[in-house]
Copies of this chain bind each other. A is one copy, B any other.
């Protein structure tokens, strides 16, 4: 099963972040939003600009990206967890 994102959306596989200490104590989030990390799995064709041309995305399949923790929508595909989000939810590419 594959997902083809529309417009400026992309499919991201979330990379797990450690939210517990070794002893199992959950570390509460501070008020400040922290981004999550993921890997781009599929990208849409880009949004249409005013001239009617598609503007390709700045990220591509395989890129490791930081994204806003509360952005995007969870999708379950073949038992794995993914996120569909807009390119604008991507904060930066990790190189």
Given contacts A3-B94, A74-B33, A91-B9, contact A48 B52 (CB under 8 A): no
A residues near B (Cβ < 8 Å) are 1-7, 9, 11, 32-35, 42, 44-45, 48-53, 55, 58-59, 66, 68, 73-76, 84, 87-88, 90-95
A48 and B55 in contact (CB under 8 A), knowing A32-B74, A75-B66? yes
**A59 contacts across to B, CB distance below 8 A:** 6
What copy number does this chain have within its complex?
Answer: 7
Pick the contact of A75 from B6, B44, B88, B91 — CB < 8 Å?
B91
Question: A75 to B7, Cβ gap below 8 A?
Answer: no
Give the CA-CA distance A68 to B57 in the complex, in Å: 22
